[in-house]
């Protein structure tokens, strides 16, 4: 339960609830006027963490040399390989396959299924276990314009607007056009989406979307999708093999500059193995566990930007690495769940963000960056609620959901949220939850085209590791869509590349040597090593709170 000193603020939320409910009943989603473009720009410039003076720095090496990117990402890219290339005998091949997929979230699993469907041999290498990925942890939904009042064109406009018009148009076109058939594909594989009583899809609102197009499986949509894909992979042992606890530490090229495989490192045996492949898909996810600007994160333990490092060292370009997504509603109380995701579906169902005085201060469904910056503004201006450990948050008024949608809605639509908070004696049907933005998503990544291809022949990227689809700000539910659309495309086009008869030349790590020479010239500290593989816990901000993190990254 909440500490007693919060009761006065809780009372104010309760007192204003009836009035806010009446307004929501009258005006629907438009319970608060969305901000104008100028207001959005102003709140971003003044309060979004990306816009702080020291948020970015110039990267001094590689294809994006001279660009200002997120400082922590620049540090990780300006780091030494884990081992010098001389350590590896590339004539001793441990595994040979048509297609190597690095990473086993829903993007990698989708790629594997498509490549296997074309009769090719696939090897999935993953840092932890199959499905240990942000994909599995996504809650609120997956977007697709498959309703009568909607269209891929409207979906396209929303994606581009949310991304500040920086998205690569061809990628957005692929995303929105493939969306309805992706939902169909997932349903045919067995994903149980929420339905209305008449059997039609139940669709909800999301931030920055002009139509209700969020398809969900309660509030564990990502798990419903990822487990289904994983089962399908398990069902194809003849063509899909996998190696767990084996992150890739370097890509291997051939003497023609084509992709030729990767080096894997086994976390338990500490042995390296060499994989030769005709095509490689990077689907390693994002960078949440780098705790940029010391933010807590919703991300899984392995989200350490490894794919960016591998691709960048091999010569692939990055897009929008100056942009970080902070999910507006991370838990900020109780301490055990700080940073955990409180799904956007909560606001999609009508919950409102209100300050310590019970005032609704922002349109609840702004695009994520604007919503997050507005919440930070409220807290920085003394309108937040302090937690016993010194954090600050605002209320997300969940009881409104039942008032607006009927009794039982929270239990049926948000069972995971109910469980997450009832463990701490907080009944979200009766009490609001305390939230603050949390590091959620890597908006940018390795540049791809609509075939998920990079500039390196044979190298494909799908999902959060890629850049360009979402511009500088992703909308809710487009990540679950992205990993399916571009996972499938990566698998399909990687297979086409192999079926076209590619031949691999002499294997080489000369690109790593060249990169290392530049690091030497820059005088980079030899202790700085990447890929990071596992987060460097316990970080200072956690140490300061005298907390520890268990294997799953949970504060205890």
The half-sphere exposure of 215 on its side-chain side, counting CA atoms within 13 A, is: 25
| Binding segment toward ligand MEZ, per CB under 6 A, in 40-48, 70-78, 336-344, 516-524 | 336-344
106 binds ligand MEZ (CB under 6 A): no
Please name every residue paired with 508 in a beta bridge, in sequence order, or none if there are none: 253
Which alpha helices (DSSP H) does 297-348 contain, by range?
A: 306-313, 345-348
Residue 134: CB minimum distance to ligand MEZ, A: 8
447 to 150, 164, 175, 324, 452: CA distances (angstroms): 29, 17, 15, 16, 9
Residue 360: CB minimum distance to ligand MEZ, A: 20
Residue 371: CB minimum distance to ligand MEZ, A: 11
Task: Identify the three-state secondary structure at position 465.
Answer: helix
Residue 345: CB minimum distance to ligand MEZ, A: 6
Nearer to ligand MEZ, 88 or 441 (CB): 441
Nearer to ligand MEZ, 345 or 511 (CB): 345
H or E segment to which residue 99 belongs: strand 95-102
| Binding segment toward ligand MEZ, per CB under 6 A, in 340-348, 447-455, 503-511, 521-529 | 340-348
Catalytic residue among 347, 474, 489, 511, which?
A: 347
Residue 341: CB minimum distance to ligand MEZ, A: 6
User: Could you give the CA distance from residue 401 to residue 406 in angstroms, rounded to a whole number?
Assistant: 8
| Binding segment toward ligand MEZ, per CB under 6 A, in 103-111, 357-365, 475-483, 521-529 | 475-483
Residue 226: CB minimum distance to ligand MEZ, A: 13
3-state secondary structure 153-197: HHHHHHHHHHCCCCCCHHHHHHHHHHHHHHHHHHHHHCCCCCECC
Interface residue with ligand MEZ among 98, 194, 250, 344 (CB under 6 A) is 344
347 binds ligand MEZ (CB under 6 A): no
Task: Identify the three-state secondary structure at position 280.
Answer: strand
345 binds ligand MEZ (CB under 6 A): yes
- What residues from 133 to 192 belong to the interface with ligand MEZ (CB under 6 A)? 138-141
Interface residue with ligand MEZ among 477, 487, 535, 553 (CB under 6 A) is 477
| Binding segment toward ligand MEZ, per CB under 6 A, in 80-88, 285-293, 355-363, 477-485 | 477-485
Catalytic residue among 17, 72, 327, 472, which?
A: 327
SS3 content of the chain, % helix, strand, coil (to 5): 40, 20, 45
Q: At what angle do helices 478-499 and 221-234 cross, to 10 degrees?
A: 20
Nearer to ligand MEZ, 59 or 186 (CB): 186
297 binds ligand MEZ (CB under 6 A): no
Nearer to ligand MEZ, 79 or 139 (CB): 139
Give the dihedral sign, CA 359/365/368/369.
Answer: negative
Residue 521: CB minimum distance to ligand MEZ, A: 40
Nearest residue to ligand MEZ, scored by beta-carbon proximity: 140
The half-sphere exposure of 325 on its side-chain side, counting CA atoms within 13 A, is: 27
Which alpha helices (DSSP H) does 219-265 contain, by range?
A: 221-234
299 binds ligand MEZ (CB under 6 A): no
Would you say 74 and 86 are in contact if contact means Cβ atoms under 8 Å apart? Answer: no
Interface residue with ligand MEZ among 228, 283, 343, 387 (CB under 6 A) is 343
Interface residue with ligand MEZ among 35, 228, 304, 479 (CB under 6 A) is 479
Compute how many residues bind ligand MEZ; rule: CB under 6 A: 12
Nearer to ligand MEZ, 313 or 345 (CB): 345
306 binds ligand MEZ (CB under 6 A): no
64 binds ligand MEZ (CB under 6 A): no
**Known catalytic membership, residue 347:** yes
482 binds ligand MEZ (CB under 6 A): no
Q: Are strands 352-354 and 392-397 parallel, antiparallel or unpaired?
A: antiparallel
Task: Identify the three-state secondary structure at position 518.
Answer: helix
Would you say 286 and 442 are in contact if contact means Cβ atoms under 8 Å apart? Answer: yes
Residue 476: CB minimum distance to ligand MEZ, A: 4
- Indicate the burial class of 317 (C-beta count within 10 angstroms; 0-12, 13-18, 19 or more): middle
Q: For 116, phi and psi rounded to 5 degrees?
A: -65, -35
Nearer to ligand MEZ, 140 or 491 (CB): 140
Residue 543: CB minimum distance to ligand MEZ, A: 29
**Known catalytic membership, residue 327:** yes
Would you say 320 and 443 are in contact if contact means Cβ atoms under 8 Å apart? Answer: yes
476 binds ligand MEZ (CB under 6 A): yes
Nearer to ligand MEZ, 476 or 495 (CB): 476
User: Could you give the CA distance from residue 155 to residue 390 in angstroms, rounded to a whole number?
Assistant: 40
CA angle 258, 261, 262 (to 5 degrees): 125
The torsion of the CA quartet 439, 445, 448, 453, rounded to 10 degrees, works out to -100
CA angle 83, 85, 87 (to 5 degrees): 70
Which residues have a catalytic role annotated?
A: 327, 347
Enumerate binding residues for ligand MEZ (CB under 6 A).
Answer: 138-141, 341, 343-345, 476-477, 479-480
């Amino acid at each position: 339960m909440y500490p007693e000193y919060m009761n006065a603020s809780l009372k104010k939320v309760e007192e204003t609830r009836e009035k806010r409910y009446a307004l929501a009943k009258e005006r629907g989603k438009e319970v608060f006027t969305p901000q104008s473009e100028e207001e959005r720009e102003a709140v971003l410039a003044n309060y979004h963490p990306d816009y702080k003076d020291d948020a970015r720095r110039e990267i001094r090496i590689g294809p994006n040399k001279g660009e200002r990117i997120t400082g922590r990402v620049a540090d990780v890219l300006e780091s030494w390989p884990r081992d010098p290339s001389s350590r590896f005998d590339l004539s001793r091949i441990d595994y040979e396959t048509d297609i190597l997929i690095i990473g086993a979230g829903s993007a990698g699993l989708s790629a594997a299924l498509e490549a296997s469907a074309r009769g090719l041999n696939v090897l999935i290498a993953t840092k932890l276990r199959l499905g240990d990925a942000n994909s599995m942890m996504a809650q609120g939904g997956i977007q697709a314009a498959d309703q009568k009042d909607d269209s891929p064109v409207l979906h396209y406009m929303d994606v581009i607007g949310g991304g500040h018009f920086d998205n690569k148009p061809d990628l957005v076109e692929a995303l929105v056009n493939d969306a309805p058939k992706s939902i169909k594909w997932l349903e045919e594989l067995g994903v149980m989406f929420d339905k209305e009583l008449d059997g039609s899809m139940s669709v909800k609102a999301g931030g920055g979307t002009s139509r209700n197009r969020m398809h969900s499986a309660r509030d564990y949509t990502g798990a419903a999708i990822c487990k289904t894909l994983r089962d399908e992979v398990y069902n194809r042992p003849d063509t899909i093999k996998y190696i767990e606890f084996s992150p890739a530490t370097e890509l291997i090229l051939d003497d023609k500059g084509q992709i030729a495989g990767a080096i894997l490192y086994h976390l338990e045996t500490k042995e390296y193995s060499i994989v030769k492949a005709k095509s490689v898909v990077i689907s390693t996810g994002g960078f949440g566990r780098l705790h940029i600007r010391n933010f807590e994160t919703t991300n899984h333990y392995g989200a350490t930007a490894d794919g960016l490092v591998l691709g960048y060292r091999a010569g692939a370009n990055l897009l929008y690495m100056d942009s970080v997504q902070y999910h507006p509603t991370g838990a900020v109380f109780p301490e055990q769940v700080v940073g955990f995701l409180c799904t956007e579906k909560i606001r999609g169902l009508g919950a409102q963000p209100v300050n310590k005085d019970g005032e609704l201060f922002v349109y609840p469904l702004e695009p994520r960056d604007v919503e997050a910056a507005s919440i930070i503004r409220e807290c920085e201006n003394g309108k937040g609620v302090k937690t016993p450990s010194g954090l600050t948050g605002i209320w997300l008024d969940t009881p409104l959901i039942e008032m607006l949608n009927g009794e039982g809605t929270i239990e049926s639509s948000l069972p995971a949220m109910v469980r997450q908070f009832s463990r701490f004696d907080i009944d979200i049907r009766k009490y609001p939850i305390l939230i603050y933005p949390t590091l959620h998503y890597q908006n940018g990544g390795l540049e791809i085209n609509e075939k998920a291809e990079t500039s390196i022949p044979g190298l494909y990227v799908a999902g959060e590791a890629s850049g360009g689809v979402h511009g500088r700000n992703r909308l809710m539910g487009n990540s679950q869509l992205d990993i399916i659309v571009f996972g499938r495309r990566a698998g399909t086009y990687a297979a086409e590349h192999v079926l076209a008869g590619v031949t691999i030349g002499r294997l080489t790590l000369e690109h790593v040597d060249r990169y290392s020479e530049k690091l030497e010239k820059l005088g980079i500290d030899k202790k700085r090593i990447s890929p990071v593989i596992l987060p460097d816990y316990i970080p200072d901000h956690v140490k300061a709170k005298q907390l520890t993190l268990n294997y799953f990254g949970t504060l205890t």
